[in-house]
Amino acid sequence: MNFDKELELRVKKANQAIEECLPKDEGMPGNLVESMRYSVLVGGKRVRPVLMGELFEIFGGKGKELRFIQSAMELIHTASLCHDDLPALDNDLLRRGKKTTHAQFGEAMGILAGDALLNYAYELLFDGINESENKENALNAARILSKKSGYLGMLGGQSVDVEHEKTGIKGDQLEILEYINEKKTAALIEGAMMTGAALAGADCEQLKLIEKIGNRIGLAFQIQDDILDVTGTPQSIGKSVFSDMKNNKETYVAIVGIEEASKRVIDFTKEAVALTDELPGNTEFLKEMISYLALRKN
Ligand code: FPP
Ligand code: MG
C-alpha cells in the first residue's frame, strides 16, 4: 500500500465533503460566514474526519450520511481551535499557517465564528441523521460525538487545562496532565473513530475497543503536539512555537523532558497499533495512519 497516496485520497474526499457542507458566503451582511469559512478552509490535516471515514469503512458502512457527520466533526474541532486561540485562552495569532480567526477578523468575530461553527455542526448532524437509512445507528453516532466534545470530553479537559495555568501541575501530579490530555484531545479522536464505527453499526463491545484505541492515539497525539511546540518552527507547524511556555502550561515535555515524552508517544502508539488487531476488516491503512500521527511534523 502506498500510504501517502491513500492518505491524500482520503483527505481529498473529506475536504470535498466539508466544502460542500459549509455555508455559502452569499446574501448575508457582515463577516460571520466569511470568518466561518476562513477558519475551516485555511488548512488542517483533517485527521478526525479521515479516522471517522476509515472506521466507517472497516465496519462496512455504505450510507450517504458519513459526509455530513465528518463535516460536523471537523467543524466542532475548528470551533475549538477558534476559541482556543482567543486572547482569553491561548492568545495565539498563527494557526494552520495563517492568521488565527480573531487576528484576522477581530476578537468578537473569533468568538462568534466559533459559536456559529459549533451550532452549524449540529445542523449537519441532524442532516446526517435525516440522510441515514438506519436512524438508530445515526442517533447513536450523533450522541457519541456530542458527548465526546462536551463537558465530559473536550470542553471538560480544556477547562481543567485553563484552570491549571495559574496553579501549575507539579511533577507528582501527572495524572492531572493525563486527565487534561485524555479529555481535551483524546476525547475528540475517540469520538471521531467511534462515530464512524457506530454509523456502520458497530456493537457496544466493539465501540469500547475503538474508544481505547482512540484514547491511546489521542494521548500520543497531544504529547507529540507538546513536543512540536518546542522543537518545531512556525513554518513547519503552522502555529506559534513555545505557546505552552508562554501560557504557563505544564506539558509532558516540561515535566519529564523531551526524551521521556517521545518514549511515551512511541509506547501509546504501539499499544494503539496492537489493539487494532482485534478489529474486523482491513486495518492496514489505519495502522499506518496511527504511526504517521506519532511521527508527524505538523
Ligand atoms: C490540534 O489538532 C489540536 C489539538 C492538539 C487539541 C488541542 C486541544 C484544544 C485546542 C482544546 C479544545 C479547545 C477548546 C476551546 C474547547 P490538529 O493538529 O489536528 O490541527 P489541524 O486540524 O489544524 O491539523
Ligand atoms: Mg490550548
At 246 the pLDDT is 80
β-bridge partners, 95: 98
Please give all residues whose beta carbon lies within 6 A of any atom in ligand 1, as ranges.
44-45, 47, 80-81, 83-84, 89, 96, 154-155, 158, 184-185, 222, 225
HSE value, Cβ hemisphere, 13 Å, CA-based, for 130: 7
* Residue located nearest, by CA, to atom 6 of ligand 1: 185
94-95/98-99 β-pairing = antiparallel
Measuring CA to CA, which residue among 155, 144, 147 is closest to residue 185? 155
Model pLDDT for residues 28-57, shown as the tens digit of each residue = 878 999 999 999 999 999 999 999 999 999
C-alpha cell at 111: 468568538
Give the 3-state secondary structure percentages of the chain, helix then strand then coil, rounded to 5: 75, 0, 25
Distance CA 61, CA 57 (A): 5
Band the pLDDT of 143: cuts 50, 70, 90. Answer: very high
Looking at residue 172, its pLDDT comes to: 65
* Nearest protein Cα to ligand 1, atom 13: 80
Dihedrals phi, psi of 242, to nearest 5 degrees:
55, 30
* Mean per-residue pLDDT, 160-183: 83
Task: Name, in order, each residue with C-beta under 8 angstroms of 207's C-beta and a sequence gap of 6 or more.
Answer: 144, 194, 197, 198
Percent of the chain at pLDDT > 90 equals 82
Mean pLDDT of the chain: 94
pTM, 2 dp? 0.96
User: 16-26 pLDDT, tens per residue?
Assistant: 999 999 999 88
Average pLDDT over residues 273-297: 95
At 250 the pLDDT is: 78
75, 81, 146: residue to mutate for ligand 1 pocket, most atoms within 8 A of CB: 81
C-alpha 123 to ligand 2 mean position (Å): 26
Ligand nearest to the Cα of 218, by number:
1
CA 83 to the chain's CA centroid: 14
Residue 95 grid coordinates: 494557526
